[in-house]
Structures are given as structure tokens and as C-alpha cells.
Copies of this chain bind each other. A is one copy, B any other.
Amino acid sequence: MRILLVEDDGLLGAAVRDSIAAEGHAVDWARRLGEAEECRAVARYNVILLDLMLPDGRGLDFLKRLRLAGETMPVIILTARDQVSDRIAGLNAGADDYLVKPFDLSELSARIGAVTRRAAGQAAPVVTFGDVTIQLAERAITRSGKALALTAREWAVLEALLGRPSGLVSKSEIEERLYDLDAEVESNTIEVYIARLRKKIGHARIVTERGLGYRLVR
């Protein structure tokens, strides 16, 4: 496994590098964002460990650039900030995990394991369907540049459809995702939400297959 460590603190950086190397992984250590960009251009990484406060810029911006470029590798943020709002911002920018300094090196390696176990099959945090761009992480969606406003239920239906990229999702499947065991629904609610979604993202984006379900098309 190949890991990119972005960290300006010499002591902590060396400790992390050694600990990861001791587990048999390859580590490239960038001390500034500039270096990190160079590394990224040269090599592909399985995991990126990212400090947020760096001499030449904010780690979050690096992360956002990464995700906008379509990169999907797991990113674990390492930082002294432990404000909840910071952690949320990090996760919403597309980070996969968050460790607050000081952290235990064995916990770091456990988290690297957890995060890469998931990385086998990835859904891109940014999905594009025709003129519609969806940022799942931030619950933001635009159509030809203009922001759309989806309600909670509309998001839920959209997520259900996205869960099977270009695959078929049955109405009952959507229903199961929307409603818990107690609250059973006896109506055409799903059809209504499909109609509303179509009105917002374009009718052709969702095709009906009678008796089977719905399918997202690009």
C-alpha cells in the first residue's frame, strides 16, 4: 500500500512515517501543499494523510481540489483542531476520517485499515448526469450551473437511485429506504416524488420500466 503523508511538523511526521513504514507500507512525506501536489502528479496513492494547517495553504482546499478532480482515494485528516465544526467541514469536503492530535499511532493504523477496507468499491462523491451535478457529500445539486433545492424526501429518493449507478431500483426498494418498519405507507408517494424529481432534474433523467422500477440515465 502506498501512502501520502502531508504534514509540516517534523517530529510528528517522522513518527507517523516510521510507524507506517514499519507495517510494510510505502510512505511519501510532503511538508507543504506544493510538494503534495507534485507527489500526486507523479504517483497514485491508496491513502492520503492530511494535516489541515500547512505553511503554504489550507489542507481543506487541497482536499477539495482532489475531489473536484474526481480523485476518490480515502483521505484521513490529522489535525490539532478539534472543533466540531472543523470536523464536519472536513468530512463534508470529502474526507473519510478524522484524527485529532495527539493520537495513538496504533489507532492511526487501525483507521487506515478501516478506511481502505471500504475503498475497494467506491462511489465518487461528485456525480454528473448530463447537465446535472450532484455533490453527495454536501447535499448540493446544480443543473446547468444553477443550484437546485431538494427536500429531504427528494434527496432520499435520489440517493436510492444513485445507490445503483445506471441500475434499476424497484419502487418497493425505494419505499423500504424511505420508511421504517412502523410507518407503512399505502399510496403512490414514490410516484409523486419521482415526478417532482423529474421536474427538477429533467424528465429524461429518470426512466420508468413498467412493473420493474426506475432507472437513472445520464
Residues of chain A having any CB pair with chain B under 8 Å: 1-2, 22-28, 39, 42-44, 46, 74, 84, 87-88, 91-92, 95-97, 104, 106-107, 110-111, 113-115, 117-125, 135-140, 149, 151-156, 159-160, 162-168, 176-181, 209-213
- The reply to whether B151 and A211 contact each other, CB–CB distance below 8 Å, is yes
Complex contacts, A153 vs chain B, CB 8 Å: 24
Instruction: State the Cβ distance, A82 to closest chain B Cβ, in Å.
Output: 11
Query: Which DSSP category, helix, strand, loop or mixed, fits chain A's interface?
Result: mixed
Which among A28, A91, A107 has the highest number of chain B CB atoms within 10 Å?
A91
**Do A117 and B140 form a contact, CB below 8 Å, given A23-B152, A26-B178?**
no
B121 contacts A123, C-beta separation under 8 Å: yes
B-side contacts of A180, CB under 8 Å: 2, 26-28
State the oligomeric state as a number of copies.
Answer: 2
- The reply to whether B121 and A92 contact each other, CB–CB distance below 8 Å, is no
The distance in angstroms between the C-alpha atoms of A159 and B120, with both chains bound, is 11
**Complex Cα distance A209/B141, Å?**
13
* A125–B123 CA distance with the chains assembled, in angstroms: 18
Contact present for B110 and A88 (CB under 8 Å) = yes
A26 with B177: in contact, given A117-B136, A167-B138 (CB under 8 Å)? Answer: yes
Q: Is the CB of A96 within 8 A of B110?
A: no
CA distance A164 to B121 in the complex (A): 7
Residues of B within 8 A of A119 (CB): 118, 121, 123
Residues in B neighbouring A168, C-beta threshold 8 A: 138-140
**A1 lies within 8 A of B181 (CB):** no
| A42 CB contacts on chain B under 8 angstroms | 181
* Distance in angstroms between the alpha carbons of A139 and B25 in the assembled complex: 14
Q: What is the bound-complex CA distance between A145 and B151, given in angstroms?
A: 36
> Which residue of B151, B209, B213 is within 8 Å of A149 (Cβ)?
B209
CA distance A159 to B2 in the complex (A): 11
CB of A24 within 8 A of CB of B178, answer: yes
Known: A95-B114, A117-B123, A121-B123. A179 touches B87 (CB 8 A): no
